[in-house]
A and B are shown apart, each in its own frame.
Chain A
Amino acid sequence: GENVEQHPSTLSVQEGDSAVIKCTYSDSASNYFPWYKQELGKRPQLIIDIRSNVGEKKDQRIAVTLNKTAKHFSLHITETQPEDSAVYFCAADPLNDYKLSFGAGTTVTVRA
């Protein structure tokens, strides 16, 4: 099955700075890579996703990049704000398999 590793496990940034979270996956057949944000006591919510035929995708202050050769993808948050503080999960989904395998999560703290 798919193995997704996520780094770092915790990340503290100053408000306004950028945050980058990186994930690696093992199954080269994976073709879908979503990112979820989970605030304390809340449900995980999809914030951005990317498919294997795209190298980069942006949505306002967040972006995701994918390197299929190296089998890694990253989440970039620019101009961080206190409301960005949460746990972020990456995931991967092998082709024709609807099972998402999640990374262990990154706890992001934005310091005011």
Chain B
Amino acid sequence: DAGVIQSPRHEVTEMGQEVTLRCKPISGHDYLFWYRQTMMRGLELLIYFNNNVPIDDSGMPEDRFSAKMPNASFSTLKIQPSEPRDSAVYFCASSPTGYYGYTFGSGTRLTVV
């Protein structure tokens, strides 16, 4: 298995633009998580899905953020419009049912200028 796959690895965009981050979880993992990592706030959970259904989005900072999981092998995190304070590394992680160990993707480093 190739692990959790995220794309792009790096994204530089201008303020106000739409940004879409992508994630492919490990096959068979029923849970998918989106985390944001910054120096100031550490690892923050944004949203997580179980069997493609959003379970808890209380960590999504604003309405500018949205996430979808149209099928078991794909999820997106969208920021529209983006702002400089959204600059961070965004990690996707997946976990099999009944087992708590997350496997993280390589992350997307987002820079909004």
Contact = CB atoms under 8 A, between A and B. Distances in A.
B35 to A, nearest CB: 8
A42 B6 CA distance: 13
Say which size band chain B's interface belongs to.
10 to 19
Q: Main SS of chain B's interface residues?
A: strand
Contact of A32 (B31, B100, B105, B107): B100
Given A98-B50, A102-B43, A105-B42, A44 B100 contact: no
B48 A99 contact: yes
B45 interface: yes
Contacts of A101: 45
Nearest to B103: A46
Most interface-central of A42, A100, A102, A104 (chain B CB within 10 A):
A100
A104 B42 contact: yes
Given A99-B45, A104-B42, A46 B95 contact: no
Nearest to B91: A43
Interface in B88-113: 91, 95, 100-107
B42 A34 contact: no
Contacts of B14: none
B42 A102 contact: yes
Interface of A: 32, 34, 36, 42-46, 49, 89, 93, 98-105
Interface of B: 31, 33, 42-43, 45, 48, 50, 55-56, 91, 95, 100-107
The 9 closest A-B pairs by CB, nearest first: A102-B43, A43-B104, A32-B100, A104-B42, A46-B101, A44-B104, A43-B106, A99-B45, A98-B31
